[in-house]
Amino acid sequence: MSTMKPENTAVSRGDRRQFVKASTLATFSAMLGMDIPFGGLIPQGLTPVALGQDEVVQEMDLIHKPGLRVLNLRPVNMETPALLLDDEITPNQRHFVRNNGLMPERAGQGSLSGWTLDIDGEVERPMKLSMDQLQSGFKVVEGAYVLECGGNGRAGFYPPAPGNQWTLGAVGCALYKGIRLRDVLLHAGLRNSAVYIGYYGEDIHLSRDPSKVVISRGFPISKALDEHTLLAWEMNGEPLPAVHGFPLRLICPGWPASTSGKWLKRITVRNVVHDGEKMTGHSYRMPKYPVAPGTDVPAQDMEIISEMPVKSIITFPETGMEVPQNQEVPLRGHAWSGSGNISAMDVSIDFGQTWKRTELKAPRNKFAWQRWNVGIQFPGPGYYEVWARATDVTGAMQPMVVPGWNPRGYLNNAMHRIAIKVTA
Amino acid sequence: MKSWRIFRPALIVLGVVILQGIGQEAGRQDGISRGGSPALAPESQGDVIFGLKPGTGREYVLGYCMPCHSTTLVASNHMSRERWDATIDTMQIKNGMTPIPPDIRDRILDYLEVAQRVDDPGLNASRKSPWASPLYRPNPLW
């Protein structure tokens, strides 16, 4: 296993001490994503306190994500602008980040010292597996998988739903190498009482209280036994980057990305639905029935999100582009669905009155996103919107407007719309 | 290290109070008038600090929220006073937020109720122009 070597950037270069010494107001402003008024007058030593900067600097040292939009630095949450999702396989530096706590030290050091994956609960043979045992004891598989945050698109809900205000970019499709979770579970011997799995990671609670679990979610045994549910140690040909869960993470494709636990240390097989941190209450749950916007929904009327809905994105051109008339404009993007493949991808340039079928590529594997492209000739000068609509194999289609309001703002799969100005 | 963390809210409040003082002083010196939102108290005019609009009680929001997470999370959320109050409960029950004296809690809520309200003009403006935000239109029910 090679150690982590973060690429050099203005923010990530050098060790932490040097960074603090070299820090300028501009750097702090950039890290915060905002201006610090009268920052030049901040007394020495005050800014770091206010920033909670010790952790922020440590983490930014390990994250190289130029061009991503920072929603939060502590914990780190970054989304990718649509244009930067144009690659068929999302490069590591362009993959969104949704952390709930602080990264474990091991991840930053790229160290496997003392690390095992513990399998316990409803299994015949509880076990601790080293990385060597995982890599050599089971069939190694590789696949491209879409991970999308359950809250992607939250910014579209009104009244606003609490949490990170993701727009479009809490999604990516990277290539993961690892082993099937089912092979490990069957090796440990699943008992008939097995109902659900729950994961535990090594990430650190924001309060630094070691007794607090940051996030511990899971999924039903049926999903755990799916051939596409993986324990992955490699992302796009590199060891998992620190921010993406070094040394091992779950890949639970098609489900909210919070089920794809990072910095994995333990998987416990439960005889009931897992009730770990962020499994209960309103977290990652939708109302069992449609509710009016703003409704207070009792916790017992909420149910766990399983498959993510059908969705697509326009990755070229960027919204707001001006094009001369009489020039064909190439449009392209990706489409995906938690239920499997996409059956049709259409675009409209007349506010949904007529639709044009696009060319749709087959997925690299199930749960990879699918490339679509089409050339459009606009009829004349003016303001146009391009609407993009995917339909999946179940016949489900993206809605034109933001779908069912829910208390935490999950599952907004409204069509992506961009504006195009055609000039004379 | 441990005791340092316990005192962090107080240190941040102190720091922000100094910062605001410096800001007001600098404003007077360069003669620039700094307009605050009309909905906010007059004494709270000034600049955005760490993403938070000016307002009475802001220093306590910075002091009590920043020890755990960036204030961008506060600034990007808009809720009623009751929901902000419930959010503080959640932060204390689940996330280990420091206990807050009742009078300070009220000042925090006074600030959030105004600065981070659901009908925040800034939030609404970003939804109206298709060029600013062509991704979404307001929910047709609203």
What pLDDT does A21 receive?
35
Is residue A11 predicted with pLDDT exceeding 60? no
pLDDT category, A333, cuts 50, 70, 90? very high
> Rounded to an integer, what distance in angstroms lies between the CA atom of residue B104 and that of residue B64?
10
pLDDT of A382 > 60? The answer is yes
pLDDT, position A59: 82
CB contact under 8 A, A164 and B73: yes
Q: How confident is the model at residue B96 (pLDDT cuts 50, 70, 90)?
A: confident
- Is B130 or B114 the better-scoring residue by pLDDT? B114
Residue of A nearest to B82 (CA): A296
A34 touches chain B (CB under 8 A): yes
Chain A residues with CB inside 8 Å of B8's CB? 49, 52
Alpha carbons A141 and A152: distance in angstroms, whole number? 28
User: Which value, in Å, is the radius of gyration of the alpha carbons in chain A?
Assistant: 22
pLDDT of res. B108: 96
Contacts of A386 (CB under 8 A, 6+ apart): A314, A331, A347, A348, A349, A376, A417, A418, A420
Q: Is A33 on the interface with B (CB under 8 A)?
A: yes
pLDDT at B135 exceeding the cut of 60: no
pLDDT over 90 (residue A181): yes
Could you tell me the CA-to-CA distances from B139 to A226, A320, B121, B131 in Å, in that order?
37, 23, 17, 18
A395 Cβ neighbours under 8 A, 6+ residues apart:
A343
Q: What is the ipTM of this complex?
A: 0.71
Nearest-neighbour CA in chain B from A311: distance (Å): 14
Res. A47: pLDDT tops 90: no
Q: Which two tokens stand for residue A348?
A: 């409209």
pTM of this prediction exceeds 0.90: no
Do A322 and A377 form a contact (C-beta atoms < 8 A)? no
* pLDDT over 90 at A379, yes or no: yes
pLDDT of residue A58: 74
pLDDT at A14: 38
Q: How far apart are CA A51 and CA A34, in angstroms?
A: 12
Instruction: Give mean pLDDT, residues A401-416.
Output: 94
**pLDDT for position A401:** 87
Question: Which residue in this structure is represented by tokens 């290290």?
Answer: B1
Query: Residue A311 — pLDDT band, cuts 50, 70, 90?
Result: very high
Length of chain B in terms of residues written:
142
> What would the pLDDT profile of A269-306 be if each residue is shown by its tens digit?
999 999 999 999 999 999 999 999 999 999 999 999 99
Q: Is B43 helix (H, G, I), strand (E, B) or coil?
A: helix
Tell me the average pLDDT across B56-72. 90
The minimum CA-CA distance between B86 and chain A, rounded to whole Å, is 11
Q: Which of B124, B139, B141, B142 to mutate to test the interface with A (most CBs of A within 10 A)?
A: B139
Q: Which residue has the tokens 């993470």?
A: A249
Q: What are phi and psi of B88, to 5 degrees?
A: -65, -40
Label residue A373 left, alpha or beta by phi (over 0 means left) and psi (-120 to 50 means alpha): beta
- Out of B23, B123, B134, name the one closest to residue A417 (CB): B134
β-strand A117-121 against A264-270: which pairing, if any?
Answer: parallel
- The more confident residue out of A268 and B72 is A268
B12 within 8 A of B52, measured Cβ to Cβ: no
pLDDT at residue number A55: 65
Structure tokens at A163: 């949490």
Number of other residues whose CB lies within 10 A of the CB of residue A210: 8
Locate all alpha helices (DSSP H) within B2-118, ordered by sequence. Answer: 2-6, 8-30, 58-65, 72-75, 81-95, 102-115
Q: What is the mean pLDDT of chain A?
A: 88
Ranges of each domain in chain B: 2-117
pLDDT of residue B123: 76
The whole-number pLDDT of residue B18 equals: 54
Reduce the DSSP state of residue B52 to 3 states and report it.
strand
Please answer yes or no on whether A419 and B131 come within 8 Å at the CB atom.
Answer: yes
- Provide the b/e sequence for B37-53 (b: ≥16 CB within 10 Å): beebeeebbbbebbbbb
Pairing of strands A264-270, A196-201: antiparallel
- Identify residue A299 by its one-letter amino acid code: A
Flag if B134 and A36 touch (Cβ within 8 Å).
no
Q: Which residues pair with A264 in a beta bridge?
A: A201
- pLDDT at position B49 is 87
Chain B residues with CB inside 8 Å of A206's CB? 68-69, 95-96
Question: In this structure, which amino acid lies at residue A177?
Answer: K
Q: What is the mean pLDDT of residues A393-411?
A: 95
β partners of residue B108: none
Compare A42 and A382 and report the one with higher pLDDT: A382
Q: How confident is the model at residue A40 (pLDDT cuts 50, 70, 90)?
A: very low
Q: Which residue has the tokens 């906010």?
A: B40
A419: confidence class by pLDDT, cuts 50, 70, 90: confident
Answer yes or no: is pLDDT of A32 > 70: no
pLDDT reported for residue A124? 98
Inspect the interface and report whether the beta carbons of B139 and A158 lie closer than 8 Å.
yes
- Enumerate residues 6+ apart whose C-beta is below 8 A from A256: A148, A149, A150, A284, A305, A308, A410
State residue B72's pLDDT score.
87
B70 vs A122, more confident: A122
Using a pLDDT cut of 70, give the percent of chain A over it: 87
**Is B128 a residue whose pLDDT tops 80?**
no
Tokens 């669905």 belong to residue: A337
Domains of chain A, with CATH numbers? Answer: 1-61 (no CATH), 108-304 (3.90.420.10), 311-423 (2.60.40.650)
In this predicted structure, the answer to whether residue A408 has a pLDDT above a threshold of 90 is yes
Partners of A43 on chain B (C-beta within 8 Å) are 18
> What HEC string does chain A produce?
CCCCCCCCCCCCCCCHHHHHHHCCHHHHHHHHCCCCCCHHHCCCCHHHHHHCHHHHHHHHCCCCCCCCEEEEECCEEEECCHHHHCCCCCCHHHCCEECCCECCHHHHHCCCCCCCEEEEECECCCEEECHHHHHHHCCEEEEEEEEECCCCCHHHCCCCCCCCCCCCCCEEEEEEEEEEHHHHHHHHCECCCCCEEEEEECCECCCCCCCCCCCCCEEEHHHHCCCCCEEEEEECCEECCHHHCCCCEEECCCCCHHHCCCCEEEEEEECCCCCCCCCCCCCCEEECCCCCCCCCCCHHHEEECCCCCCEEEEEECCCCEEEECCCCEEEEEEEEECCECEEEEEEECCCCCCCEECEECCCCCCCCCEEEEEEECCCCCEEEEEEEEEEECCCCECCCCCCCCCCCCCCCCCCEEEEEEEEC
pLDDT of residue A294: 92
List the end-to-end C-alpha distance of chain A, in Å, as a whole number. Answer: 58
pLDDT tens-digit readout, A193-217: 999 999 999 999 998 899 999 999 9
Residue A211 touches chain B, beta carbons under 8 Å:
no
Mutation target for A interface from B68, B78, B118, B120: give the one with most A CBs within 10 A.
B68
> Would you state the pLDDT for residue B43?
41
CA A211 to chain centre: 26
The C-alpha atoms of residue A328 and residue A311 are separated, in whole angstroms, by 25
